[in-house]
Chains A and B, each alone.
Chain A
Amino acid sequence: MKNMVRRMGSLLLALLLVISLTACGNTGETNKGETSGNAVTEGAGKEAAGEKPVELTMAFLIFGPVPNDLQKVNDAINEYLLEKVNCTLKMVPINASNYSQQIDLMLTSGEPLDLLADGTITAFFNYTSHASKGQLYPMGDLLEQYGQGITDALGDYVSAAAIDGEVYGVATNRDLAARTSFMCRTSLLEKYNIDPDKIKTYEDLENVFKTIKDNEAGVTPAMAGQTANGTLFDSLGLSFDTNGDQLSDMIGVLLDNQKLEVSDYYESDLCKALAERAYDWYQKGYILQDATTNQSTAEDLVKAGTLFGYFGNSKPGIEKQESALCGEDITEIILSDTLSDTQKVTGFMWSIAAGSEHPDKAMQVLNLMYSDPVFVNLLDHGIEGTHYQMVDAEKGIINYADGVDASTTGYDMGVDFEFGNQMISYIWEGDSPTLWQDLDSFNRSAVVSKAMGFQFDSTSVKTEYAAVTSVIDKYKRSLGQGTVDPNTVLPEFVEMLKKAGIDTVIKEKQVQLDAFAQTNNIQ
């Protein structure tokens, strides 16, 4: 019996091995097939201006599946690009869940890659590390030569991602600032005659929470952030309490975004007051009671009917976006000023890979992405008549093509903010027809942090940085969601941070910030 089991075991293992080997073999083969297929299309491309058209590879981030009609749209784009800049584009969509690894692999393995979406949102990107490791192509000269459209669209923000004075990535033109708002269910606001315009302070908010808590059984008035691990520190700490700057990771922040003074947020009085407020709200039942174990987003909880509202970043058009996610009408109660800092601008960017053979062509294509509505609309919305149709040609308003809707369309990736200049693309019917003007004035109205453009490089203090990160993991969520008593836990948190070496990190950040200020002449 025992032998039998052993034999079966090894047989199974052998089988597994064989299967995995053949699986590898298969992917190898399909890859080969793909490249040879491309070689054929490349050869068939017409040779304009006597120069052989080059093929560029463009990697970008998507959140859903690869659209069915990607190849169709890609062909249409190629036709257009051949005419414009005599090159073709190979679009490589990569899912958000493994974008970061896949890009690292492409950059290190020498796979052909010319244009890539990069940025400083750590969940997807690793721009700072790519740039400091020399994996990205310095764009300065190319921008001057070919990038007029980019510079026009972005203005001063074009160099927001500069590292040591050299630009390795340009931000996409979208919402480049944010304000903090409380998003909540319109139906309940109306039911209790609450005027959203009159809510300005914590006291106003608390009154609303109290009304909801007392009258709506089973509905929690508020959630600290939009995602399950969002805290009041993230959502309100440096935007509503003060016009600050998180300096991307909240490890060493600017409490006043007009003063280049890095300090520990968790040690500040602001943090203490906010933690106490969170605890008070938790005790009173104003914020999510099962915050520690909750894994749902705020939108899902609103949809389920157990939540009234939540704190989050917002921009013009947010009500429509959130209403769609929540399944009912959402009202935005604006709390903070509109703020802008490096993180908000450099979140999504475009870079050219250091290994690109045709960086000049890549820049020309990129320039079109910021200045040519035809190209941008192809990328954003696909082919007219197949994927969308004009509703109002003058105002540039579109809707799905006949016989196509959101669930059956072959091309709707929903990443319009990623393709260069969103503000020259068409507007969906139902959105405000002046959406782009609104967004533009929103961006311009922002209080811009003095540290705009500053990128922190943590490599020299990475031991401390790692230790600090692990301490924050342990304490931040429970303190920022009010589930623990800050009188005992906050001092412990601050002390553990000190032990982990947060002072060293902050000191290094200050040194780098001072150097940054000096090279850029910021007072």
Chain B
Amino acid sequence: MADEGKALRGKKKQKRTLQKLKRYYMLYLMMIPGLIYLLINNYVPMSGLYLAFKNIDFRLGLLGSDWIGFKNFEFLFRSQDAFIITRNTILYNLAFIVVNTVIAIMLSILLNEIISIRRIKLYQSLILLPYLISMVVVSYLVLAFLNTKGFINSTIITGLLGRGTGISWYSEAKYWPFIIIFVNAWKNVGYLCIIYYASIIGISSDYYEAASLDGARMWQKIRYITIPLIKPTVITMVLLSLGRMFYSDFGLFYQVPMDSGAIYSTTNVIDTYVYRALIQLSDIGMSSAAGVYQSVVGFIVVLGSNLVVRKVSKENALF
């Protein structure tokens, strides 16, 4: 009985799939170029993973070179590099998520309290502007501030605070976690803020009117109306960024610290490491090994964050 029902349902489902296929075949056709692109760009290169386990010798060719197991991976773990870059990548991304979300929500609530439309437009544009600037340009803006004779050293430290010498920012690793997080927030908060602002103006004004009639103050309105109502948007945005935990903004970590060796311990992330490995070692096997390491750890992190996502809200999970 139950089996029959199942079979029937299966048939029905099949039929429905066919029907759907017929109905939307145009859309599916349109998907093909995108799929081909994905296949060429994301799946075909995966076959290159095997390079990481080979000792490349051109006389023997790529396929004919000797298998050497995990020997290519050893250099990663020789000087704690693997630990440092993994730690940096994950911690920075976590910090970005927290800092950016909090600032963006604060800004969007403040924007919502402004009445003059012209001012709203002005502030919105000012906040969004950094998001549109290329990282290379940003890196030189940062340089103008942090240079040995830059704004911070010459005006603030030696000028206002009256200290004799400035700080050589680009050789002191300890300051960089703050600088990187600050620059990232300055650059990316605008975009997030626009999204939150859009969902705040979507909140019906009835709630606020009713609250005012009941004598609610501004802070109470924010606390009990605005924040609960934008919560779904916040969750979605945080989940989206959790899924990208193991990507890092190459420009932010390579251009902004000006590729200065002395501060690698706090600015080196997986992307910059793989890049440097390829450029400097020019050893295909070893740079592939660094790439494989990135993929594997990235995969684990994505799985992990998906687990968290599923706990929080099931419909936002990837699988």
Contacts and interface: CB of A to CB of B under 8 A. Distances in A.
Interface stretch (B14-22, B71-79, B95-103): B71-79
A238 B29 CA distance: 67
Contacts of A134: 59
Contact of A10 (B31, B143, B148, B264): B31
Contacts of A473: 261, 264, 276, 280
A459 to B, nearest CB: 8
Nearest to A496: B79
* Range class of the B interface residue count: 35 or more
A467 B78 CA distance: 6
B37 A292 contact: no
Interface centre among A135, A478, A496 (most CB of B within 10 A): A478
Interface in B262-305: 262, 264-265, 276-277, 280-283, 286
A133 B34 contact: no
A484 B78 contact: no
B73 to A, nearest CB: 9
B58 A292 contact: no
Contacts of B80: 499
Nearest to B258: A293
A487 interface: no
B209 interface: no
Contacts of A293: 143, 147, 170, 258, 260
Nearest to A9: B34
Interface in B60-80: 61, 71-72, 74-75, 78-80
Chain A binding surface, main DSSP class: helix
A462 B33 contact: no
Chain B binding surface, main DSSP class: helix
Contacts of B33: 10-11, 13-14, 17
B79 A107 contact: no
Nearest to A18: B33
A289 B148 CA distance: 7
A463 B59 contact: no
B236 interface: no
A500 interface: yes
A402 to B, nearest CB: 45
A292 B147 CA distance: 10
Contact of A466 (B61, B75, B143): B75
Contacts of B72: 463
Contacts of B264: 473-474
B273 to A, nearest CB: 8
B260 A104 contact: no
A11 B30 contact: yes
B255 to A, nearest CB: 11
Contacts of B249: none
B262 A483 contact: yes
A474 B78 contact: no
Contacts of A483: 168, 170-171, 262
A474 B266 CA distance: 12
A216 B71 CA distance: 55
B58 A135 contact: yes
A133 B261 contact: no
B237 to A, nearest CB: 17
B81 A470 contact: yes
Nearest to B285: A462
Interface string A273-301: 00000000000000001101101000000
Contacts of B30: 7, 10-11
B58 A471 contact: no
A290 B71 contact: no
A289 B79 contact: no
A264 interface: no
Interface centre among B80, B258, B261, B280 (most CB of A within 10 A): B261
A496 B80 CA distance: 9
Interface string B136-168: 000000010001110000000000000000001
Interface in A453-493: 462-464, 466-467, 469-471, 473-478, 483-484, 489
Contact of A477 (B61, B71, B261, B265): B261
Nearest to B77: A467
B235 interface: no
A137 to B, nearest CB: 14
A489 B262 CA distance: 10
A473 B168 CA distance: 19
A519 interface: no
B277 A292 contact: no
Given A290-B147, A290-B148, A470-B280, A133 B74 contact: no
B78 A104 contact: no
A377 interface: no
A100 interface: yes
Interface of A: 7, 9-11, 13-14, 16-17, 100, 104, 107-108, 126, 133-135, 289-290, 292-293, 295, 462-464, 466-467, 469-471, 473-478, 483-484, 489, 496, 499-501
27 contacts: A7-B30, A13-B33, A13-B37, A17-B36, A108-B61, A289-B148, A290-B170, A292-B168, A292-B262, A293-B170, A293-B258, A462-B75, A463-B72, A463-B75, A466-B281, A469-B281, A470-B280, A473-B276, A473-B280, A474-B262, A475-B261, A478-B171, A483-B262, A484-B262, A499-B80, A500-B79, A501-B78
The 9 closest A-B pairs by CB, nearest first: A14-B33, A467-B78, A478-B262, A466-B75, A292-B170, A10-B34, A293-B258, A289-B148, A463-B74
Given A13-B34, A292-B168, A474-B264, 16 more contacts: A17-B36, A104-B58, A133-B57, A134-B59, A135-B59, A292-B170, A292-B260, A462-B286, A467-B75, A470-B280, A475-B262, A478-B171, A478-B260, A489-B262, A499-B79, A500-B79
